[in-house]
A and B are shown apart, each in its own frame.
Chain A
Amino acid sequence: MSAAAQSGSEEPGSEERHERRSSAAPLAYLLWLIIAIGLAYGLYKTGSLVPALFEN
């Protein structure tokens, strides 16, 4: 394992192999948001069916 990989420091020339961190992070945060909204929608819609089960 390279020392740079462990310590988090930049290796010479590594920028050629790595994509810029900034290009992925906003996408990931956007995805977290979309997923949270989607799951909230699914949980609300599915959860609203459950009370009918206990009304019988």
Chain B
Amino acid sequence: MAGLSFLDRERSVAPPGYSRWLIPPAALAVHLSIGQIYAFSVFKTPLVERFDSSLTSISIIFSISIAMLGLSAAVFGTWVERNGPRKAMVVAGLCWSSGFVIGALGVAVEQLWLVYLGYGFLGGIGLGIGYISPVSTLIKWFPDRPGLATGLAIMGFGGGALIASPLSNQLLELYASEPANAIVPAFLTLGALYFVMTMLGAFTVRVPEEGWKPEGWEPPADDAADKKMRTRGNVTAANAIKTPQFWLLWTVLFCNVTAGIGILEQAAPMAQDFFSDLDAEAAAGFVGLLALANMTGRFVWSSTSDVVGRKPIYMLYLGAGAVLYFVLVTVGASSLLIFLLVTVVILSFYGGGFATIPAYLKDLFGEREVGAIHGRLLTAWSCAGVAGPLIVNALADSQSAAGKEGSDLYTLSLSIMVGVLAVGFIANLLVRPVNPRFQEERASEREPARRPRTAPAAAEASS
């Protein structure tokens, strides 16, 4: 494999004076590509027609992808950390694009299992590796503003659907009169496009030299660092999962995603159930509005967390989120404006929760293995991806069977979301600095000036 040494971390070290603003486009290129997964629904109806199968059979493709995203991020997190972003991006791009090609083959020969294998399984691995590949690198380039950096990249995942959704519709119209006959060339086109984009990202990305820091920036003094729970030590991924902080953040992410995905997955029918005079076009407008809120929230809230701190911003996402869900249940159906405002803010919190979590991890566990720790934490996303839609859909069905209609279909499920967010709020409240005994000690850090920076009293209280 010597021929592939140009992909090694050592070969992608930036030269002195390299502008760190050349890194975000590499991260964005990958996240905008893999963000296509959120536009998969565009292909649902054509795939149902092509395979003459149920919607459930086709929905499994998306479920496999999301499940593989969490699993592969957890399994390959340490590998990504060790091999660097370039190799990870190349592997992610290959998996993601091959997923489209194998999926196209499955559609061409009408073998659904090939689509499960390609777009679902292989593509899902590409999603997981691609999602975490730039995170650690960005945090190292932006130690002064990690929330802004990861918000910028993860905003791409939300923006990916914004581009892929209209693009996929145009491709389906372009290649055949019947969308079901246009899936194969559309998949191949998207696969080729995303391959080029991810490779451009891979060959643009650079890692900073060991010990690099922005000109004129100094790590915050001990007191300032302690106030915002920012550690200067590093915890390995293997150690991180042994800490209560990891599992508290896992709960926080799970609750935040469960609540948001419950609305996101059911957006169009929910809007029409709340307001019966909304037609399909207006419902599509609502979905578009939520996509914009989801994308914008990732950048805006994550950047804000650099100023106000990670713990307070999650108190806002979860606390204000619970209040907004309560408003939705009680007065949401009385006014379209209130309904829109509330759901837009909830979805911006949903996006913000995704984008801020890497910076929160960096604060608590240090930057050394933040990518690998982030990968393990993303299993919360996979679980929430199942729990959120299940709560909303199953309860809406049962309420419908009980004779309820309109916004009453969602009263119970949205009330449960208030409780879910309250659980997340409490979990976030319990987060304290990590006990220094979990931190690894490097030889270079053994001089007296580099003693552990975490507040001992608070750290002891957390262990």
Which A residues lie at the B interface, using CB under 8 A?
1-2, 4-11, 14-15, 17-21, 24-25, 27-32, 34-35, 38-39, 41-43, 45-47, 49-56
Q: Within the assembled complex, what's the spacing in Å between the Cα atoms of A51 and B384?
A: 32
Contact B204 A24 (CB under 8 A): yes
Interface of B is mostly: helix
Contact B29 A31 (CB under 8 A): yes
- Stretch with Cβ within 8 A of A (4 or more), from B12-20, B137-145, B326-334, B421-429: B12-20
Contact A30 B285 (CB under 8 A): no
Q: Does B213 contact A (CB under 8 A)?
A: yes
- Which B125-170 residues have a C-beta within 8 angstroms of A? 156, 159, 162-163, 165-167
Interface string of B182-211 (1 = CB under 8 A from A): 000000000000000100110110100111
Contact A53 B203 (CB under 8 A): no
Q: Which 7 A-B pairs have the closest CB atoms?
A: A1-B211, A45-B166, A42-B162, A53-B285, A31-B25, A28-B22, A42-B163
Indicate whether A35 sits within 8 Å of B32 (C-beta atoms), given known contacts A9-B16, A41-B163, A42-B163.
yes
Indicate the size class of the contact surface on chain B: 35 or more
CB proximity of A43 to chain B, nearest CB, Å: 7
Q: Within the assembled complex, what's the spacing in Å between the Cα atoms of A30 and B281?
A: 35
Contact B166 A38 (CB under 8 A): no
Indicate whether A5 sits within 8 Å of B282 (C-beta atoms), given known contacts A19-B12, A21-B15, A39-B159.
no
CB proximity of B445 to chain A, nearest CB, Å: 12
Q: Within the assembled complex, what's the spacing in Å between the Cα atoms of A46 and B168?
A: 13
List B contacts of A20 (CB < 8 A).
15
List B contacts of A38 (CB < 8 A).
32, 159, 163
Q: Which of B18, B279, B291, B340 touches A46 (beta carbons < 8 Å)? A: B291
CB proximity of A10 to chain B, nearest CB, Å: 6
Residue of A nearest to B340 (CB): A53
Contact A27 B289 (CB under 8 A): no
List B contacts of A55 (CB < 8 A).
282
Contact B28 A31 (CB under 8 A): yes
Contact A39 B163 (CB under 8 A): yes
Q: Does B51 contact A (CB under 8 A)?
A: no
Contact A8 B16 (CB under 8 A): yes
Contact B22 A25 (CB under 8 A): yes
List A contacts of B32 (CB < 8 A).
35, 38-39
Q: Can you name 9 A-B pairs with beta carbons within 8 Å?
A: A10-B16, A15-B15, A31-B201, A35-B28, A38-B32, A46-B165, A53-B289, A53-B340, A56-B278
Q: Within the assembled complex, what's the spacing in Å between the Cα atoms of A7 and B16?
A: 8
- Which B196-239 residues have a C-beta within 8 angstroms of A? 197, 200-201, 203-204, 206, 209-213, 215
Q: Within the assembled complex, what's the spacing in Å between the Cα atoms of A2 and B210?
A: 8
Q: Does B447 contact A (CB under 8 A)?
A: no
- Which B2-60 residues have a C-beta within 8 angstroms of A? 10-19, 22-23, 25-26, 28-29, 32
New A-B pairs, 13, CB < 8 Å, besides A5-B209, A17-B13, A55-B282 = A5-B16, A6-B211, A8-B17, A18-B13, A27-B204, A31-B26, A31-B201, A34-B200, A39-B162, A39-B163, A41-B167, A45-B162, A45-B165
Among B23, B204, B279, B340, residue most surrounded by chain A Cβ atoms (within 10 Å): B204
Which B residues lie at the A interface, using CB under 8 A?
10-19, 22-23, 25-26, 28-29, 32, 156, 159, 162-163, 165-167, 197, 200-201, 203-204, 206, 209-213, 215, 275, 277-279, 281-282, 284-289, 291-292, 336, 340
List B contacts of A1 (CB < 8 A).
210-213
Among A11, A27, A51, A54, residue most surrounded by chain B Cβ atoms (within 10 Å): A27
Contact B200 A31 (CB under 8 A): yes
List B contacts of A46 (CB < 8 A).
162, 165-166, 288, 291-292
CB proximity of B177 to chain A, nearest CB, Å: 22
Q: Within the assembled complex, what's the spacing in Å between the Cα atoms of A14 and B278?
A: 63
Q: Within the assembled complex, what's the spacing in Å between the Cα atoms of A29 and B17?
A: 17
Q: Within the assembled complex, what's the spacing in Å between the Cα atoms of A11 and B14?
A: 13
Contact B281 A27 (CB under 8 A): no
CB proximity of A33 to chain B, nearest CB, Å: 9
Q: Within the assembled complex, what's the spacing in Å between the Cα atoms of A24 and B26?
A: 10
Q: Which of A24, A43, A52 touches B206 (beta carbons < 8 Å)? A: A24
Q: Within the assembled complex, what's the spacing in Å between the Cα atoms of A51 and B284?
A: 10
List B contacts of A10 (CB < 8 A).
15-16
Q: Within the assembled complex, what's the spacing in Å between the Cα atoms of A32 and B14?
A: 19
Among A8, A29, A46, residue most surrounded by chain B Cβ atoms (within 10 Å): A46
Q: Which of B22, B292, B336 touches A43 (beta carbons < 8 Å)? A: B292
Q: Within the assembled complex, what's the spacing in Å between the Cα atoms of A50 and B18?
A: 41
Q: Within the assembled complex, what's the spacing in Å between the Cα atoms of A30 and B199?
A: 13
Residue of A nearest to B212 (CB): A5
Residue of A nearest to B196 (CB): A34
